[in-house]
Structure 1
């Protein structure tokens, strides 16, 4: 019985951790924009100044975006075709799991297959997971028109987890920017 209880608690913990680590991405864009004309980029300084991250994470985020933009063939320039604006939104999350339901199986009273040898019971305590969840927003702006032409976001970053933080930022930025340019997605 104790083994089953331990396995169920382990299963609940795995589900809880899996739920916290999934990144949800989405994007939107101006359907009239000519994405082929954008070849160079730089960061929107006022936006970078307002990013609510410590300086280490801010540099990591900028480096992740630069690496992905360069991998896509864009060149950083002082006179760019597009400006990259970054926004980070954080909110406190609480996940509560439990108590778990443990039901038996076997031949019960009366006719047919019923719940276990004895009645089912409730067991285990509540498990609470509190953390800060972040959303990273990457906007591309046309400096000549002063208009937003592409918007991407990734939600579900666990900002409390300091282990592998840089790797997670790079992976998250890559997943967000995988949706740019939108015409490439439509062609697939």
Structure 2
């Protein structure tokens, strides 16, 4: 029973480390989001230089679909807009070792004393995941101050652009579902 009480916190920490990323939002509590009806895309939108133009276009199109579904109207000039939409895609590469490992352990246990030794031998190669962070900002068109921000880190597929398009669509939908703040 004592062993279970000791292992439970370690198991919870391990499971927490495996959880997927969540949408992160922040906003200006003085902003009146109920007045937001018309928007334009900020000319400062873009991405890190290493991000594929196809990824950028997928984010832009997904965002515009979300705005249209939310009944927001695209206007041609900032002077006619209630808010500016700025998106940015940043590289968030992370090396993750997903290769299986073979573990060999030796140990002894006697009385109240125990010793253990373990060696892990990798059976594969490390894999570098292509992760990106999608950031969506809403700005005041007059002073260009930030009023709302949502972001999410996602993992891209190295082989299938269709999978990436679907992943980006789900990510932008998840970010936009957090607007307006409650």
**Residue 69 in 1 paired to residue 67 in 2?**
yes
Which TM-score applies when normalising by structure 1? 0.69
Q: Is 2:56–2:89's contact at 8 Å kept on the other side of the alignment?
A: no
- Tell me which residue corresponds to 1:125: 122
Give the alignment's TM-score, normalised by structure 2.
Answer: 0.71
Query: What are the superposed Cα offsets for residues 167-186 of structure 1, whole Å, 9 maximum, x if unpaired?
Result: 11100000111110002xxx
- 2:175 counterpart of 1:181: no
Among 48, 56, 59, the alignment partner of 1:58 is 56
Structure 2 Cα separation of the partners of residues 71 and 179 of structure 1: 14
State the distance in 2 between where 1:161 and 1:148 align. Answer: 36
**Superposition pairs for residues 133-172 of structure 1, below 5 Å?**
133-158=131-156, 160=158, 162-163=160-161, 164-172=163-171
Compared CA separation, residues 109 and 148, structure 1 to 2 (3 A): closer
Equivalent position of 2:101 in the other structure = 99
Higher helix share: 1
Match of 1:88 in 2: 89
Please, which runs of 5 or more residues in structure 1 have no aligned partner?
A: 1-18, 112-118, 184-188
CA drift of 1:131 comes to 2.0
Select between 156-165 and 126-135 the one with higher mean Cα deviation: 156-165
Cα distance, 1:141 vs. partner? 0.4
CA RMSD of the aligned region, Å?
3.2
1:59-99 CA-partner distances (Å, limit 9, x unpaired): 21110000111111211112221111111111331112563
Distance 1:110 1:30 in 2: 62
Report the Cα offset of residue 130 of structure 1.
Answer: 1.0
| C-alpha contact 1:152 1:176 (8 A) present in aligned 2 | yes
Shift of 1:151: 0.6
Deviations, residues 16-55 of structure 1 (Å, cap 9, x unaligned): xxx5x9342110000001100111111102323x554332
Paired residue total: 158
